[in-house]
């Protein structure tokens, strides 16, 4: 390797060593670093409700978790991109299509960033969105049911990290590529031809304002750089979107060195209103692609998957005044817009300050063509011309910024393990608190919106050494709650989290809880395999398929004795929960099932496919404790040899007639 390629290696190694030192040499007495009234401020008495829902990414778990604030109590893990045996998500026949992709069934992904729907720039409590980083996808979650309602795959993308971020009225959810990839017909190319053949994209996914249905409206073709994070403009900057970009060197190997050569990379500014104009003018190019679009219906309690074959792509070379670059030091990660929409904060992982850009100055620089050349044909605005100012010496390793309702910003610093509070107007540092340890993202309730609720800032940390009881080589992930009511931030609470928490958004509980679904009305169940009552329960043979139309209610199944199944049969248990009472799900499991259980909500129908691998009598039972006679909620299914003459019989509460002897 050439020496010039290593010129920043000492800096990187120095930062890494400092981080390790800070995490190994912990200050004494940190366990008592909270104030005496912290417990009172974070305490939610038994029977009382939390003030906020906190939607937290599960990282490599592929799921999204919901916590209460200020208690830190875990309420729910919502299955999104990964199978979940607890709820049967991805295992039941109804939910399997949700995890379909152009690559086939993908049972896992890496969810980094939740985003909540907004109206006029303020959280409205309708939907949450999540990104799949590995196999690029966007999910929409219905906050009436706390379930995944829709997943759309993103073509022409590798590493869907800069995602999902929403525009001011949830017109679009926007996603940018972390990894540039070859596109079009020329896919089999040498990796060394990265600069010539690799491209990035940002995708604008439209959201129906009534039902939330998603559609890829258009993609913008971009140079082969890495898009990291993003935020929509708001207020005066509505109609624009801002993305952090690194690897303007367009390196394809040893990026820790080769993508850190330049003093500045970019914040990319996209005028999506202008993109819509070009789209209406027919400037978009139709490109043949293949991607899955999966939807779940609460009427049928089942999902469908459709393979789409086309997207529309806009090229900045054909669409002037649509995309601009702004220089940003150094290796930008975070990109955040303040509540007014005037200021855009860039956070360079290797920068010793925080640059803040002015939307007004951006517009003035564009009008005056105050450019510093171009990058791959895209104009680069002069740094000084668009800069509001720099926060000087705030800390080491700035990553992300959130805002309160008083004109202040809060930035996480990974290397120096702290949150720093600073004033947006004059860029003065006001306060700093340590985190434990190596904070990544942070969250202020309503922090990315036009009207933050403030009150708390939550740190999502990467390292938890000495904070919790040890659990072997892997420790729990960590979040920490700080009060921001006063001039000084105060640590109130530590609480563990699932997976690896990245970003989170918090919203007042009242915006969601009042609309929460309690039961699914049985009379509205449109599942094709629904059993509307016990008298309709039955078992049918269709060739080598056996379909069991079963009901569950406290505390029995109908039927609970089944005979006539043969080795080689595929048995479909279509279980309808007849309960119409809140929080009375029923489970269903059968011995030898090699997939999972079912967890069926009141009024819902779910299907488990079971393929017995041996003859015998197999127990089946309810897995969710439902009543004092829960243990009695069980039954049996008999499996006979292939070719036997045992007829299909089924019953509950009645003696089953003896089956005919097996022919030999």
For 548-567, what is each residue's pLDDT tens digit?
A: 999 999 999 999 999 999 99
Quickly state the pLDDT bin for 31 (edges 50, 70, 90).
very low
545-553 and 570-577 as β-strands: parallel, antiparallel, unpaired?
A: parallel
Q: Tell whether the model's pLDDT for residue 659 goes beyond 50.
A: no
CA angle 261–270–195, rounded 5-degree value: 40
In the chain, the largest separation of any two C-alpha atoms, in whole Å, equals 93
Q: In a 10 Å sphere around its CB, with 0-12 CB exposed, 13-18 middle and 19+ buried, how is residue 210 labelled?
A: exposed
State the average pLDDT over residues 73-97: 97
Quickly state the pLDDT bin for 23 (edges 50, 70, 90).
very low
Please give the C-alpha separations between residue 551 and each of 476, 584, 603, in angstroms, as whole numbers.
40, 14, 10
pLDDT tens digit string along 76-85? 999 999 999 9
First-to-last C-alpha distance (Å) of the chain: 76
Quickly state the pLDDT bin for 185 (edges 50, 70, 90).
confident
pLDDT tens digit string along 578-623? 999 999 999 999 999 999 999 999 999 999 999 999 999 999 999 9
Sign of CA dihedral 494, 497, 500, 503: negative
Q: Tell whether the model's pLDDT for residue 153 goes beyond 70.
A: yes
Residues 498, 65 contacting (CB under 8 angstroms): yes
State the average pLDDT over residues 194-223: 97
DSSP conformation letters of 14-51: HHHHHHHHHHHSPPTTGGG-S-TTHHHHH---TTPPPS
CA angle 438–440–441, rounded 5-degree value: 145
Quickly state the pLDDT bin for 34 (edges 50, 70, 90).
low
Percent of the chain, pLDDT > 90?
A: 91
Q: Tell whether the model's pLDDT for residue 658 goes beyond 60.
A: no
Q: Would you say the pTM of this structure is higher than 0.85?
A: yes
* Mean per-residue pLDDT over the chain, rounded: 93
């Amino acid at each position: 390797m050439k020496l010039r390629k290593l010129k920043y290696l000492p800096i990187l190694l120095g930062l890494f060593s400092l981080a390790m030192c800070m995490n190994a040499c912990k200050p004494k007495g940190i366990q008592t670093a909270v104030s005496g009234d912290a417990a009172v401020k974070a305490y939610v008495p038994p029977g009382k409700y939390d003030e906020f829902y906190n939607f937290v990414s599960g990282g490599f778990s592929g799921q999204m978790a919901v916590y209460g604030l200020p208690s830190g109590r875990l309420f729910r893990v919502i299955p999104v991109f990964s199978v979940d045996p607890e709820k049967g998500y991805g295992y039941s026949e109804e939910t399997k299509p949700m995890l379909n992709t152009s690559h086939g069934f993908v049972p896992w992904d890496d969810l980094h960033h939740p985003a909540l729907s907004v109206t006029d720039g303020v959280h409205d409590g309708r939907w949450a969105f999540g990104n799949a980083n590995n196999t690029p996808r966007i999910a929409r979650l219905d906050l009436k049911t706390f379930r995944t309602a829709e997943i759309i795959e993103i073509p022409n993308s590798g590493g869907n990290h800069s995602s999902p971020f929403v525009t001011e009225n949830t017109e679009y959810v926007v996603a940018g590529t972390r990894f540039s990839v070859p596109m079009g017909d020329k896919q089999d190319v040498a990796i060394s031809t990265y600069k010539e053949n690799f491209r990035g994209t940002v995708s604008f996914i439209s959201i129906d304002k009534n039902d939330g249905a998603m559609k890829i409206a258009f993609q913008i073709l971009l140079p082969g750089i890495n898009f990291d994070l993003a935020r929509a403009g708001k207020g005066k900057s509505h109609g624009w979107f801002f993305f952090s970009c690194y690897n303007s060197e367009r390196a394809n190997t040893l990026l820790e060195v080769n993508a850190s050569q330049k003093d500045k990379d970019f914040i990319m500014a996209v005028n999506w209103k202008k993109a819509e104009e070009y789209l209406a003018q027919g400037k978009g190019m139709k490109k043949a692609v293949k991607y899955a679009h999966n939807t779940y219906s609460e009427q049928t309690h089942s999902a469908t998957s459709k393979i789409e074959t086309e997207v529309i792509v806009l090229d900045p070379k054909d669409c002037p005044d649509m995309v601009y670059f702004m220089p940003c030091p150094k290796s930008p990660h975070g990109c955040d817009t303040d509540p007014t929409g005037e200021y855009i904060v860039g956070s360079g992982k290797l920068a010793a300050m925080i640059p803040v850009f002015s939307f007004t100055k951006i517009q003035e620089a564009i009008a005056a063509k105050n450019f510093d050349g171009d990058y791959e044909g895209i104009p680069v605005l002069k740094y000084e011309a668009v800069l509001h100012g720099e926060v000087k010496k705030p800390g080491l390793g700035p990553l992300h910024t959130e805002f309160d309702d008083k004109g202040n910003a809060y930035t996480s610093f990974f290397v120096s393990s702290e949150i720093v509070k600073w004033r947006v107007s004059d860029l003065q540092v006001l306060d700093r608190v340590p985190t434990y340890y190596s904070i990544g993202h942070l969250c202020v309730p309503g922090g990315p919106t036009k009207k933050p609720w403030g009150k708390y800032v939550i740190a999502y940390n990467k390292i938890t050494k000495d904070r919790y009881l040890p659990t072997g080589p892997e420790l729990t992930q960590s979040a920490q709650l700080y009060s921001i009511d006063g001039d000084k931030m105060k640590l109130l609470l530590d609480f563990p989290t699932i997976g690896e928490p990245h970003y989170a958004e918090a919203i007042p509980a009242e915006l969601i809880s009042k609309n929460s679904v309690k039961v699914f009305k049985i009379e509205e169940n449109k599942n094709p395999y629904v059993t509307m009552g016990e008298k309709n329960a039955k078992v049918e043979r269709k060739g080598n398929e056996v379909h069991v139309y079963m009901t569950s209610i406290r505390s029995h199944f109908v039927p609970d004795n089944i005979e006539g199944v043969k080795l080689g049969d595929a048995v479909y248990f279509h279980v309808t929960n007849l309960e119409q009472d809140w929080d009375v799900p029923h489970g269903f499991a059968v011995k030898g099932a090699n997939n999972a259980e079912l967890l069926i909500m009141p009024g819902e129908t779910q299907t488990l496919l079971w393929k017995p691998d041996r003859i015998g009598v197999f127990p089946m039972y309810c897995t969710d404790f439902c009543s004092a006679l829960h243990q009695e909620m069980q039954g049996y299914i008999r499996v006979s040899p292939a070719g036997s003459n045992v007829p299909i019989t089924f019953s509950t509460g009645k003696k089953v007639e003896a089956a005919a002897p097996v022919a030999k």
